Structure 1
Amino acid sequence: MIDYNSIPVTMVKGVSAAKQQELHAFGISTVADLLLYFPYRYEDFHVRRLDEVKDGEKITIEGRIVSTPVVQRFGKKSKVTVRIMVEEWLVSATWFNRPYMREQLTQGRDVVVTGKWDQRRLQITVATSEFADRGAMRKDTLQPVYSVRGKITQNWMRKTIAQAMLQFSETISEVLPAELMRRYRLMPRKQAIAALHNPQDAQAGKQARRRMVYEELLLFQLKLHAFRALNRERADGVAHEASNTQVKEFVRSLPFELTDGQKGAVTDILADMRSPYCMNRLLQGDVGSGKTVVSAIALYASVCSGYQGALMVPTEILAEQHMRSLMKLFEPHGIQIALLTGSVTGRKRKDVLAGLQMGAIDILVGTHALIQEDVFFKRLGLVVTDEQHRFGVNQRSILRRKGMNPDVLLMTATPIPRTLAITAFGDMDVTSIKDRPAGRKPIKTYWVKHEMLERVLGFIRREVDQGRQAYMICPLIEESDKLDVQNAIDVHVQMQQAFPNLSVGLLHGRMSAAEKDEAMRAFSSGSTHLLVSTTVIEVGVDVPNSTLMIIMDAERFGLSQLHQLRGRVGRGEHQSYCVLIADPKSEVGKERMRIMTETEDGFELSQRDLELRGPGDFFGTKQSGLPEFKLADMASDFAVLEQAREDAAELIGMENFWTTAEYRPLHDMLKQEQLFQGELLD
């Protein structure tokens, strides 16, 4: 049988070379691509009784025309109105800007119309209409709605996919083993694809979707488990040999007690580091959960084993902060630590590079300057990346290639829901720190409307008078014609006028790196009382004296981002506050504000954020590694994802998975993914 993956889409009747080019923009090159281009929703053309319909609903009704059409004109616009007898009701039907309908709407003719229902007037505003005497009709069907643009129309896409099914449905072969099909009572693949494009009813559509979602998630999980299985076979990583005694001695030297979460994370990480396989672990924890200390223990273990460590962070100011923190911890133990950022130049930079290459530097802390071509390590054993989602996949992999398969520890303060951790980081082990250091006071969070700004300004004055500092976050840099939201430059001017005796700083993404660093240093040193900023502050420095976070137009941010911003305060001994200034118009916006005032748990917030926004917007970056699925949805299909994950692990662990004919279709699909090239997932 011909595989539909290899049949060019031009073999479908009606697809010209020009249409082929247009389809290419949709990612459609083959018949398989076309048949797996599923609709994102359906239009329901089932005829309904009027006593079952609510006001404002989109409905389809069937009746007989009982009046002559009336045409009204308003300049270039027009409307045609006619009376239709529907069951025992006399309904008024109106077509806007289609004067040609007058000729077709003849008395006594049977018609099916779809449109918006006005219960009070017994009136329907018609979107589409069909006549019984013209043959085939859409009534009593679910019509697929595809994502289309340009010259590809909805009707053309429907006809072309129907034609492809007619010509090539026999080339669709089953890929799932019979045992899984029986276990979950799944619809056959050919039937499921046909039903997704043309469901007979809602139930058939649901069953078809369930089948294809499971297939999609199983294949993805098989890919991840195959990667892990193949990489586990390659014991060519760094086997660190730091003893428990050495690590315990270092932990005892810390000026505080580790939390249970930190202890658990250290146990997981050290077990990975001591094995001959490459560690690939994600350490996630809420703001202030103590991830840096855990990474410091891992770096110490690497140095004790005779290797070097690297810590890469997204900003210079954060690199300097980590440098100071680690120096306090490591200096008593004689460990040499150096800083490499864009600001380290000339002789100083040459000395760092030379010391690194000779092995005189044990740990290098820096920004993406660490991945420049002239940076060479003598014996790199551990790579730690902080706020890993701020770096692209390529940047992270370049740093890893500076050593011979060093262990990799990625850290994030954006707690990731388990659903996304399984997908975006499915090739990694995930460790979560869920507790917080003792003595941290909860941040009090308030939601106020814009008209209360004067009271908020009074709050700023009181905090500054007590020797504290405040942030004010705005969603934009400059004024926008399209968005009626606060912008940092205007707000900065307003705050300077409101507080003429205070030092008001400004920070935004269009400033140069030197200007940003200067603004942050002024705030860190306490010389700036109020810092007006965009979200560039989200991953910033630790300023224990800042106790007030004000977020303008807070409804424009996602929950996770709001939580990250809130985490910039509450780092010292004084009570801290977060004030959300928002007038949300949508229910989602109001719900965000309510959730923020109710909980400080970043893991709970991240799950709620996923439910409100969906997975596509969660990371806000294409380099997050989040896969794009055709059908599966990370929020609603979590149970299927979990099951697919278990099934994939079971299959990959079975010897006959790689040899038996029943599993060959799945095995072949993994081969198509080029899984066997020896490359690590990043």
Structure 2
Amino acid sequence: MTDLHLIPVTNIKGIGKKADDLGALGIHSAGGLLDYFPFRYEDYHLKDLTQVKDGDKITVQGRIFSEPSLQMYGRTKSRLSCKVMIDRFLVTAVWFNRHFLKAQLKAGEDIVLTGKWDARRLQISVSESEFPGKGASRTGTLQPVYSVSGAITQNWMRKTIRQALVQYGQMIEEVLPRELVAKYSLMPRKQAVAVIHNPESLSEGEKARKRMVYEELFLFQLKLQAFRSLNRSKADGVAHDIDLPAVREFVRALPFQLTDSQKKVIAEILDDLKQPACMNRLLQGDVGAGKTIVAAVALYAVVKAGHQGALMVPTEILAEQHKRSLEKLFEPYGIQVGLLTGSLTERKRRDVLAALQIGLIDIVVGTHALIQEDVFFRQLGLVVTDEQHRFGVNQRSILRRKGMTPDVLTMTATPIPRTLAITAFGDLDVSTLRELPKGRKPIETYFVQHHLLDRILKFIRKEVRTGRQAYIICPLIEESDKLDVQNAIDLHAQLQNQYPDMKVGLLHGRLPAAEKDGIMRRFSENEVQVLVSTTVIEVGVDVPNATIMVIYDADRFGLSQLHQLRGRVGRGEHQSYCILIADPKSEVGKERMRAMTETNDGFEIARRDLELRGPGEFFGTKQSGLPEFRVADMAADFEILEEARDDAVELVARTDFWTAAEYLPLREYLQREQVLSSDLLD
């Protein structure tokens, strides 16, 4: 077996000094070049003008009808035009800044034009043109378009990949098992690589792409599933002795009934806690779906089994809020809850650290302060991280190493499409809360333009007079030279004049922690009726009396962020409202406003957000851990992703996968990827 990824790219004829430019694109070998697939095709098949739409890029053939006309603008800019008869249409062909073509355009000659069609003017803005029978022709072909940069041009890349296929195309070997190629009627790999670079038709190119998408997603999932399979056999966690009658009694004593969804998820978590292997579970649910109480039941079960629990959250406000709510829940059971944040005094911090180390604190709630080097536990059994995508993988693993490989429950209120969850978190089991607690009224969402602001301010006044409160969110803290959007400091000053009879608060990320906490406390106790804020209040703040969420320049926020902000209201018994103020100029901005007014379902919002923004931005690329796929698109190829995952799960569970000769290429792939010798994935 010859691994084409071990053959230097310089072995391909014609590469020469361009090897460094290819290296900048991540191409270092013959295999790497052959696997550098086009992201689209230029279609040079001739089109019928009666079948094309305004704005389409088209290729047409006709006869030059008139002598060309040239207009010069300064020394370099020009507009060259002539009439061309295409079928029965007399069309104007226009070339910009191609004055040198004038001598070639002769009346009566045939010409092939490629460019953008303007149906209203019967005009084509020509990007490329050629004369049939004179030199090499692209007419009637599909030309691959690659991502190129530097000194590498499309034509050079096309020519070089054709040369690589001539030299090494016959050495391309199949990596997928025969059964999977047959199951999905996939092209053999050798054929698919040749076709994807040079398809006869769009449908043939799509078949080749489908084959390579499946291969890419299958190999990725195989890596994850083999990792899970190998590490699950390691009994290196804590098998908690769960006191089920005590847990049932705790649940029965809650001042509300759990939803069926919560009961199901709690059963999954308790089952994990009993196993000797470490739990690694993602709990996702919409805003207000009751994730915190599920975490509380898990923490209670672990403490009753003789271990400590830790809850890590992204902000001090949220940490204090969780501490208060957990104390209220656990007080009757004698469970001690501690708080560890960066703003504790040195003396308080020392007391908390000592209490944790000797076991006087059963559950600690904290921010990043929990993962500092001098924090030790007596016996940490369960780590819960809230809004987990806000923490880097390294931060989570540091906390985890503070116990004897404790169980880990990660929670997010940003519902993740199943597609993304099984890709970004393939090493996690995923539990989902779909139901909202009974009695929750849907939040009414409206999209209005800036000129209706007076009506919104009157509506806020009316609600506040009935005892309610309002959030008003701005994208910026203070005025910017670069952006024409509302800022929190100016708006706060305006609203203080507008509402002299109300208390208007201001909250943003630059305020000292103590000041932020003080403002939030006054707002939660209704001493402040209107809170002007940046997105610092996006996560977890719980004020049931707040019923209005106004978001300025809403088109500047991502969909999932808008949904998170909306989730700050609607947490009590009163009807709540979300008002989006925007004058969106982009289609994406308009689509966000449309999605927000059409649905309250966080999973549907997340699906649309993934389509609009792509997976990299969904979590923030740096901390997402998302793989960079060459051909697969998680939003478009989610069905193939799920099939690939199911196939990988089934395959690694079979004994013959680890022994049969047929699967040797896949085992060698896992060996190269260091899956078979790696430590436990966090």
Deviation at 1:283, TM superposition (A): 0.9
Task: Show the 5 A alignment for 1:266-305.
Answer: 266-305=266-305
Residue 506 of structure 1 pairs with residue 506 of structure 2: yes
Q: How does 1:11-410 map to 2 (within 5 A)?
A: 11-17=11-17, 19-76=18-75, 77-410=77-410
| Pairing 1:462-477 to 2, within 5 Å after superposition | 462-477=462-477
Q: Separation in 2 of the partners of 1:506 and 1:149?
A: 47
Residue 148 of structure 1 aligns to a residue whose secondary structure is coil
1:621 Cα deviation from its structure 2 partner: 4.1
| Superposition map of 1:502-581 within 5 A | 502-581=502-581
Distance (whole Å) between structure 1 residues aligned to residue 92 and residue 468 of structure 2? 67
Cα distance, 1:481 vs structure 2: 4.8
Offset, 1:397: 1.0
Partner Cα separation in structure 1 for residue 71 and residue 16 of structure 2: 42
Decide whether the 8 Å contact of 2:469 with 2:526 is kept in 1. Answer: yes
Q: CA offsets, 1:424-474, max 9 Å, x none? A: 122111111122222322222222222111000111112222232211112
Query: Following superposition of structure 1 onto structure 2, how do residues 544-623 of structure 1 map, counting pairs within 5 Å?
Result: 544-623=544-623
User: Which amino acid is 1:235 matched to?
Assistant: A
**Contact 2:671–2:677 (CA under 8 A) maintained in structure 1:** no
Deviates further, 258-267 or 28-37: 28-37
What's the Cα RMSD here?
2.1
* Distance across 2 between alignment mates of 1:487 and 1:27: 42
Contact kept in structure 1, 2:5 and 2:31, CA below 8 Å: yes
d(CA) in 2 for partners of 1:108 and 1:511? 75
Task: State the shift of 1:280 in Å.
Answer: 0.6
Q: 1:136 to 1:433 in 2, by over 3 A?
A: same
Distance 2:218 2:335 in 1: 47
Distance 1:130-1:516 versus aligned 2 partners, 3 A rule = farther
User: Which whole-Å CA distance do the structure 2 matches of 1:624 and 1:334 have between them?
Assistant: 39
| 1:43–1:513 distance in 2 versus 1, CA, 3 Å | farther
Shift of 1:108: 4.6
The answer on whether the counterparts of 2:545 and 2:572 sit within 8 Å (CA) in structure 1 is yes
Q: What's the CA shift for 1:587?
A: 4.6
Q: Which moved more, 1:296-305 or 1:310-319?
A: 296-305
Give the Cα–Cα distance (whole angstroms) in 1 for the partners of residues 519 and 159 of structure 2.
59
Q: What SS does structure 1 have at the residue aligned with 2:569?
A: coil
| Equivalence for 2:435 | 435
1:424 and 2:424 aligned: yes
2:537 and 2:465 map into 1 onto residues whose CA distance is 23
Q: Residues 57 and 117 of structure 1 are in contact (CA less than 8 Å); yes or no, is this contact kept in structure 2?
A: yes
Corresponding residue for residue 658 of structure 1: 658
Paired with 1:69 and 1:457, the residues of 2 have a C-alpha distance of 62
User: Is the partner of 1:677 in helix, strand or coil?
Assistant: coil
8 A contact 1:356–1:362 mirrored in 2 = yes
SS in 1 for 2:176: coil
TM-score by length of 1: 0.95
Identify if the C-alpha distance between structure 1 residues 530 and 151 changes in structure 2 by more than 3 Å, giving closer, same or farther: farther
- Residue by residue, what CA displacement relative to the aligned partner does 1:460-495 show, whole Å, maximum 9, x if unpaired? 112222232211112233444554433333323332
Partners of 2:481 and 2:567 in 1: CA distance: 31
* DSSP-derived class of the 2:152 partner: coil
Identity %: 68
State how far apart, in whole Å, the 1-side matches of 2:117 and 2:596 are.
39
Structure 1 residues 607, 55: CA separation in 2 closer, same or farther (over 3 Å shift)? closer
| CA–CA distance in structure 1, aligned partners of residues 390 and 422 of structure 2 | 19
Bigger mean CA offset, 504-513 vs 447-456: 504-513
Q: How many residues align?
A: 681
Equivalent position of 1:6 in the other structure: 6
Amino acid at match of 2:369: A
Letter in 1 for 2:355: G
Distance 1:137 1:513 in 2: 68
Distance, in Å, in 2 between the alignment partners of 1:481 and 1:100 is: 44
Structure 2 Cα separation of the partners of residues 496 and 132 of structure 1: 73
Aligned residues of 1:283 and 1:412 also touching (Cα < 8 A): yes
What is the DSSP-based 3-state SS (H/G/I as helix, E as strand, rest coil) of the residue aligned with 1:132? coil
Cα–Cα, structure 1 residues 357 and 143, in superposed 2: closer, same or farther, change >3 Å? same
Q: In structure 2, how many angstroms separate the alpha carbons of the residues matched to 1:515 and 1:25?
A: 48
Match for 1:58: what amino acid? K
* Partner Cα distance (1:52, 1:242) in 2: 69
The verdict on how the C-alpha distance between 1:523 and 1:20 changes in structure 2, with shifts beyond 3 A counting, is farther
Q: Using the alignment, how far apart are the partners of 1:154 and 1:535 within structure 2?
A: 43
Alpha-carbon distance in 2 for matches of 1:82, 1:296: 76
* Aligned 8 A contact 2:450 2:582 in 1: yes
User: Equivalents in 2 of 1:545, 1:613: separation in Å?
Assistant: 33
1:515 CA drift (Å): 4.4
Paired position in structure 2 for 1:444: 444
Q: Which amino acid aligns with 2:254?
A: L
> Do the aligned partners of 1:110 and 1:133 also contact (CA within 8 Å) in 2?
no
C-alpha deviations, 1:626-677, integer Å up to 9, x for none? 3222122222212212211221111111111111121111121112221123
**SS of equivalent residue, structure 1 residue 442:** coil
Asked if 1 retains the 8 angstrom alpha-carbon contact of 2:47 and 2:58, the reply is yes
Unaligned runs of 5+ in 1: none
